Amino acid sequence: MVDTKLLTTPVSQLRQLLQERDISSVELTQAYLNQIDAVNGALNAVITICREQALEEARVADAQLAKGQAKPLTGIPILHKDIFCTHGVRTTCGSRMLDQFIPAYDATVVSKLKAEGVVVLGKCNMDEFAMGSSNETSYFGSVKNPWNLDCVPGGSSGGSAAALAAGMAPLVTGTDTGGSIRQPASLCGITGLKPTYGRVSRLGIIAFASSLDQAGPMARTAEDCALALTVMAGVDAGDSTSADMPVPDFHAALNTDIEGLRIGLPREYFNDDLDDAVRNRVMTGLGELEKAGATLVDIDLPHSHYAIATYYVIAPAEASANLARYDGVRFGHRCDKPKDLVDLYLRSRSEGFGEEVQRRILVGTYALSAGFYDAYFNKAQQVRRIIAQDFHRAFEDVDVIAGPSAPGVAFPFGAKQQDPVAMYMEDIYTLAVNLAGLPGLSTPAGLIDGMPVGLQLIGKPFDEQTILNMAHRLQLDTDWHMAHPNLEISAS
C-alpha cells in the first residue's frame, strides 16, 4: 500500500525516498498509474497511457538505484505534453491531423530526461497544435480543471497542468509560445517555468511558432523545476536556435538570499484593468519577498499594450508556414477518395485542423501575402524589437520584473470560446516575455474563492537562476504551492 500523500509530494522529496529505498520506482509508478485510472475519466488530461513501458522503465530505474548508479531524477515518473515526439508512442499534438502519428525518434527533451532515468507515464492532452488558452480546442475534448470541473485549466499546456495538480504525476513537461506554461500553471495552482528562448532544444517539438516556442518544466515547486531544467537545458546540434551557453546546476545553485534584489512592478501590469482580487493576491506575494529583503520598484514597459496585436500577427504567420507541411500527401490525416490534388489538400486540411487552427492559418497567410507582408509582418517584427528594448532598459535598474501570470482565475467552459479576442486577452501578461525571448516563471500566490492565482517572475536573458531562487524563497516562506484540489485519491 502506497501512502496517497506521495501523489502530491514534490520531486525533491520523492528522489530522497527512492535513493534511501523507502519506496521503489515500481511502487511509485504504479501509484501514479492508479491515480490516472481513477481521475482521468473526469479530467481528460491524459491522451495516451504508457502502462507497460512505464513499469519496465521503473524496474530498470530500481536496478540502477540498487547499484547506487542513480542520477537525480532516476525513477521519477513524468508525463509529457503531447507535442513532444516520443519514439514508438503516438504523438497527436491534440489534433485529428496527427491522430495516428507515431514518431520514429524522441524529442531532445524526451531523450535527455530518458537518459536521466525518468519513467514516462504517458502523454498529456493540449490545445490543438498549442493554439489556445483554455484547452478547449483539443480534438480529444476539453481538459477539466481539477479545482473546479466546470472551469478550464488554461492552455495550451492545460493537460499537463491539470494532471500535475490532480496528482497524476510529480513532474510534467510543457511548451510556452505566448504563456502556455505560465497561464495554466496559474489557473491550476502549480509552478511553471518558461526558460529563455534557446535555453532548451526545440528538436522534436511539433512547431507552432518557431521564433517563440520554448519547452519548460512544470512541477509543484521551484526546486523541482530547477532539477528538471538542469537536465532539459543545453545546446543541441540538431537545433540551430539552441544557445551554446553554459548550463549551470540550477538546483545546486538555489539560494534563499534575495536581500537587495530589486523587483520591478510595471505600471502597465497593475493598472485599472487588473482584477482587484488578483492584484491583492499578487501584492501579498510580493510583500513576502519584500519581507525577505527584496525591494519593490515601479517601472514602465511603455509598449506592452502592443504585445497582443504584435503576437497575433507573428505567431499565426509562423504557424501558417509551419503547418503547410500537413497536406495529406506525406503524413498526417488524409481524406478519403480525393477527386484530384486540390480536393486532397482542401478536404485533408479542413478535416484535419480544428476551427482555431484554421483561423490562425488564415490570419497568418494573409499577413504573409505579397500585398500585406510589409504592412503587417514586417511592422510586427519592428514593434517586437521595441517591446524587447523596453525590457532591456528596465533590467538596467531591476533584477526581476513581477506581475500577475493571468488576468483572473480559471473561467467556466464556453465563457470565451465564441470571442477569440477575449480568449487572446488571457495571455496579456505573458505574451511580451516570449516576444522578448526572456525567462518567466509562475508560482502560486494563494486562492481567490477557492481557485488558484499565480505570481509571475520575469528574468534577464539566461538568468533563470534568479527567478528560481526568488520563487524558491517565496515557497519556503509560504505554503500556497502545496495546496491541491480535493479530488478523490484512490491509488493503492
pTM: 0.96
Residue 451 φ/ψ, nearest 5 degrees: -120, 140
180: annotated active-site residue: yes
DSSP assignment of 221-275 equals: SHHHHHHHHHHHBS--TT-TTS-------TTTT-----TT-EEEEETTTSSTTS-
134: annotated active-site residue: no
Active-site residue (options: 111, 133, 180, 320): 180
| All cell numbers assigned to 75 | 525513477
210: annotated active-site residue: no
Q: What is the pLDDT of residues 115-141, one digit of tens each?
A: 999 999 999 999 999 999 999 999 999
Q: What is the pLDDT of residues 17-51, one digit of tens each?
A: 999 999 999 999 999 999 999 999 999 999 999 99
**Helix or strand (DSSP H, E) at 161:** helix 158-165
The ranges assigned to domains in the chain are 1-243+254-492
Cα dist. 272→144, 298, 300, 442 in Å?
A: 30, 15, 15, 22
Cα dist. 51→30, 57, 122, 343 in Å?
A: 9, 10, 8, 40
Active-site residue (options: 24, 25, 156, 405): 156
DSSP assignment of 276-344 equals: HHHHHHHHHHHHHHHHTT-EEEEE--TTGGGHHHHHHHHHHHHHHHHGGG-SSSSSS---SS-SSHHHH
Q: What is the pLDDT of residues 385-409, one digit of tens each?
A: 999 999 999 999 999 999 999 999 9
Q: What is the pLDDT of residues 333-380, one digit of tens each?
A: 999 999 999 999 999 999 999 999 999 999 999 999 988 999 999 999
Active-site residue (options: 12, 24, 25, 81): 81
In CATH terms, the superfamily for domain 1-243+254-492 is: Amidase signature (AS) domain (3.90.1300.10)
Between 51-66 and 25-43, two packed helices, what is the crossing angle to 10 degrees?
150
